[in-house]
């Protein structure tokens, strides 16, 4: 361990200052959400009479409870299917040297380059023709399909670095491919599974365009679509809007504070792969 010199102290103060600058927008977000509508004081001044009323009103008027449940269902389902399908697909793609597996892997990788905007219009039509418009199932199917390239890319990289001896031992013991995958390989790739869960969850909880397209006009809304509609409806009532925004980001922020130490670890694992 190095000594704490005066230079370290200067660095510390400087970095804290940067972090404080970063926090100013968050401070204003929280501050305004506790101000009564009549409070005309500066954005930075603390509320004259702090109130929870904005939160109560936003919750009651924004349909946020239902939207949070929908977001949880959509995010949970996408994460679950993404992990299972991507891990299963990455296993043979990283282990077989066959022509079809190399080609399939390249097809998946190509998806990293294709912007969602290219698929937007035709996919919208297909989802509509299948009668999935306005359903959570439509958003889930689209979300799982879209998250395959990145997840398979991460899984395959990690699996390639795993020694094959464990699987060979399992195979010698008579385990079939599925058994080997489920009991040997899947537990071994747990670190990268953690990373994929976090990244997929954040991306899909925060996704706006997909649910906007497939759910707008229906009663089913995710939290991002609900907040967008809420702001449109309550125009300049920023106190109310900010309370609604805080309600919408609180679940993911809480999850983040509990899981944050795994995020850096996960990225470190991803870099090696």
Partner 1 sequence: MAIATAVRLNQAPRKRRRYRGFASSVWWFVLPALALYVFAVVYPSIRGSLFAFTDWDGVTPNPSWVGLDQFARILTDPNAVVAVRNTLLIAFAVTVIQNAIGLLIALAVNSHIKSRNVLRVIIFAPVVITSIAVGFLWQNLYSPGGGINQMLEAIGLGALQQNWLGDPDIAIWSIIFVVFWQFVGYSMVIFLAGLQGIPEEVLEAAAIDGAGPIRRFWSVVRPLLAPAITINVMLSLIGGLKLFDQVFVMTAGGPGGATNTISTLIYSNAFSLGRFGYAAALAVVLSIFVAVASIIQYRLLALQER
Please, which of residues 34-63 interact with partner 1 by CB under 8 A? 42-44
194 binds partner 1 (CB under 8 A): no
Distance between CA atoms of residues 183 and 16, nearest Å: 46
Half-sphere exposure of 182 (CA within 13 A, CB side): 6
> Whole-number minimum distance, CB 17 to partner 1, in Å?
11
> Whole-number minimum distance, CB 51 to partner 1, in Å?
19
Q: Which residues lie closer than 8 Å to 140 by C-beta, 6 or more apart?
A: 74, 77, 78, 81
Considering only residues 234 to 253 of the shown chain, the ones binding partner 1 according to CB under 8 A are 238, 241-242, 245, 248-249, 252-253
Q: What are phi and psi of 216, to 5 degrees?
A: -65, 145
Distance between CA atoms of residues 68 and 64, nearest Å: 6
17 binds partner 1 (CB under 8 A): no
Binding residue for partner 1, selected from 58, 189, 223, 240, defined by CB under 8 A = 223
Nearer to partner 1, 60 or 130 (CB): 130
Nearer to partner 1, 213 or 220 (CB): 213
6 binds partner 1 (CB under 8 A): no
Binding residue for partner 1, selected from 202, 234, 237, 262, defined by CB under 8 A = 202
Total of chain residues touching partner 1, rule CB under 8 A: 98
Residue 182 is given by DSSP the state I
Nearer to partner 1, 15 or 218 (CB): 15
Binding residue for partner 1, selected from 58, 64, 67, 93, defined by CB under 8 A = 93
Nearer to partner 1, 60 or 98 (CB): 98
Distance between CA atoms of residues 228 and 75, nearest Å: 18
Binding residue for partner 1, selected from 111, 134, 191, 194, defined by CB under 8 A = 111
Binding residue for partner 1, selected from 28, 72, 133, 188, defined by CB under 8 A = 28
Binding residue for partner 1, selected from 95, 156, 215, 240, defined by CB under 8 A = 95
Q: What are phi and psi of 191, to 5 degrees?
A: -60, -45
CA distances from 30 to 46, 52, 106, 242, 250 (A): 10, 11, 46, 7, 11
Contact 187, 87 (CB under 8 A): no
Of 108, 89, 80, the closest CA to residue 197 belongs to 80
């Amino acid at each position: 361990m190095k000594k704490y010199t005066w230079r370290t102290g200067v660095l510390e103060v400087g970095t804290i200052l940067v972090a404080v600058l970063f926090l100013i927008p968050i401070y204003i977000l929280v501050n305004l959400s506790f101000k009564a509508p009549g409070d005309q004081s500066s954005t930075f001044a603390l509320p004259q009479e702090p109130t929870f009323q904005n939160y109560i009103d936003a919750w009651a008027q924004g349909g946020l409870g239902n939207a949070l449940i929908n977001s949880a269902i959509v995010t949970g389902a996408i994460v679950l299917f993404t992990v299972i399908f991507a891990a299963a697909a990455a296993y043979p793609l990283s282990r077989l040297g066959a022509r079809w597996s190399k080609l399939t892997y390249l097809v998946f990788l190509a998806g990293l380059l294709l912007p969602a905007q290219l698929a937007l219009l035709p996919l919208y039509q297909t989802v509509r023709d299948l009668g999935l418009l306005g359903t959570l199932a439509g958003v889930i199917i689209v979300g799982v399909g879209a998250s395959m390239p990145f997840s398979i890319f991460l899984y395959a990289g990690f699996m390639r670095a795993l020694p094959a001896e464990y699987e060979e031992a399992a195979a010698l013991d008579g385990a079939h491919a599925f058994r080997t995958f489920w009991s040997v390989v899947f537990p071994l790739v747990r670190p990268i599974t953690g990373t994929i869960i976090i990244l997929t969850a954040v991306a899909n909880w925060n996704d706006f365009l997909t649910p906007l397209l497939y759910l707008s006009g229906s009663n089913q809304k995710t939290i991002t679509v609900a907040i967008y509609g809420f702001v449109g409806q309550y125009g300049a009532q920023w106190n109310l809007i900010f309370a609604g925004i805080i309600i919408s980001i609180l679940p993911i922020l809480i999850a983040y504070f509990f899981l944050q130490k795994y995020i850096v670890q996960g990225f470190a694992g991803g870099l090696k792969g």
